[in-house]
Amino acid sequence: MSKRKLVPFLSTTVVVLIYFLYHSATVRDSWRGLPQRVGVGEHIMDSELGGQAPGDRPPNGSQQQLQPEYVNWNPKVDFKTGSPVPTGRNLTSVLIIASIKKEDVSWMESQIPDQDKAVYVADDPSAPLHPPKNKGHEVMIYLSWIIDNYDNLPDVSIFMHSHQFTWHNDDVFDNDAAMLVKRLSRERVWREGFMNMRCSWFPGCPDWMHPHAQEENKYKQEEILLARSWSELFPLDDVPDVLAQPCCAQFAISRDRIHARPHSAYIWYREWLFSTQLPDYLSGRIFEYLWQFIFTGQNVFCPQEHVCFCDGFGACFGGQQEYGEFLKLKNELGGYNHELNEWMEKKKAIEEAREEDRLAEAQQIDPPEEGKDKVYKAEIERLRPIVDKLKKEARERGDDPRNRAKEAGREWHEGDGF
């Protein structure tokens, strides 16, 4: 290269480098004055990462070309199953909640007053607990809590959203987050290391996200972004063909399982969240099907539903066949509820259109079949007590640790707990 061409090239490089260093220092230093232990943590470019930033990886992910620090913060993890809890030991647990200002979280004090909690408010920098940036939905909060508490973790950490009642809480427990927290077997979390707070496979299992997909799926917009995101987050691991676990980013983890990865790994994941140009909701949704890999090393994590319900939450139906019979009745009840809601919505839409003299619009609505609502209601009234009775009996059966062990296929000895 001639000297004439080299001078402007070097000048441009120096300007870019100065800007990058100034920008990085400014962003990092802007957080130093914030109070610690409130989800602030440390930004990347820490010595733990060897001064590397996301995207600084060698061509084709060649390990031979990596800096030593690169392998140190993102090692191949040997996940080990936890040991049984010693008799008489009470496991400690903290419930980490991701919320925003407008959400009502008062239910936690009335429903689970004795549970230790860390309630983060994503969009309120003045809140006692808040993330360093409102980005990536619950992911920023979960990672910030792990980073800030890595050296002082409880036995079990429970990560959940702030709503008490929501569809993604299993209806076996009446969609009630408080019931899930109260019935969660901390002992199973300790034994297994990682446990999704949802047992029902749909949506999410057994074959859900396909990172190699080339065409956008409007129901899974993050799918075509997964391959690139994976290569940035886990550059030493091949992109899998499938990613699957029950939805929806609520889970419990043991202290040992969190410690299976180094502190610097969680900093790296959070820095990716800070740096990515992906829209907020997409960056958050990408992690929904990465947590199981981060904490188990498995790209597909779909435990048997009846075992999860029984050993995980003490709702034991007696076995896979008995659970299948319950599921058939529950789905039948759900189907009639859906049909009744559709019937009522059509009837209401027609009545409102007629009242407002929108006769043409009323004629275009397919009228609900007369008297069908009575059929639906009768079936609902027949099935609901049966389903409720089976759920109640399952919970009572699950109060016995022997039944939990039997349905999970593990040994139980006199005096053992859950």
Residues 151 and 211 in one domain: yes
Residues 265 and 358 in one domain: no
Within a domain: residue 42? Answer: no
Note the pLDDT tens digit of each residue in 16-26: 333 333 333 33
Distance CA 324, CA 329 (A): 9
pLDDT exceeds cutoff 50 at 2 = no
pLDDT of residue 71: 60
Characterize 58-67 residue by residue with b for buried, 16 or more Cβ atoms within 10 angstroms of its Cβ, and e for exposed. eeeeeeeebe
pLDDT exceeds cutoff 50 at 15 = no
Q: Tell me the pLDDT band of 70, cut-offs 50, 70 and 90.
A: low
- Mark out the alpha helices in 46-176 (DSSP H runs): 68-73, 107-111, 138-149
Q: Tell me the pLDDT band of 34, cut-offs 50, 70 and 90.
A: very low
Q: Tell me the pLDDT band of 48, cut-offs 50, 70 and 90.
A: very low
Query: Which residue in 128, 130, 121 sits closest to 99, CA to CA?
Result: 121
Residues 213 and 140 in one domain: yes
Question: Residue 333 is part of which domain span?
Answer: 320-408
**How many domains would you assign to the chain?**
2
Q: What are phi and psi of 323, to 5 degrees?
A: -65, -40
Note the pLDDT tens digit of each residue in 271-312: 999 999 998 889 999 999 999 999 999 999 999 999 999 999
Q: DSSP states of 323-352 as a string?
A: HHHHHHHHHHHHHHHHHHHHHHHHHHHHHH
Average pLDDT of the segment spanning 138-160: 98
Question: Of 271, 303, 335, which residue is a domain's last?
Answer: 303
**Which token pair is 304?**
């048997």
Query: Is the pTM above the cut of 0.85?
Result: no
In total, the chain counts a number of residues equal to 418
Residues 261 and 141 in one domain: yes
Residues 193 and 336 in one domain: no
Distance CA 409, CA 21 (A): 56
**Among 18-22, 49-53, 131-135, 264-268, the least confident range:** 18-22
Question: Of 277, 303, 329, which residue is a domain's last?
Answer: 303
Residues 172 and 245 in one domain: yes
Is pLDDT larger for residue 348 or for residue 113? 113
Residues 392 and 273 in one domain: no
Q: Tell me the pLDDT band of 74, cut-offs 50, 70 and 90.
A: low
Residues 180 and 264 in one domain: yes
Distance CA 232, CA 276 (A): 10
pLDDT exceeds cutoff 90 at 52 = no
**Mean pLDDT, the chain, whole residue set:** 84
Query: Which residue in 393, 250, 383, 227 sits closest to 317, CA to CA?
Result: 393
% of the chain exceeding 70 in pLDDT: 82
**Which token pair is 377?**
């209601």
pLDDT exceeds cutoff 70 at 31 = no
Q: Tell me the pLDDT band of 191, cut-offs 50, 70 and 90.
A: very high
Q: Tell me the pLDDT band of 57, cut-offs 50, 70 and 90.
A: very low
Whole-Å CA distances, 54 to 152, 184, 237, 323 = 27, 36, 15, 45
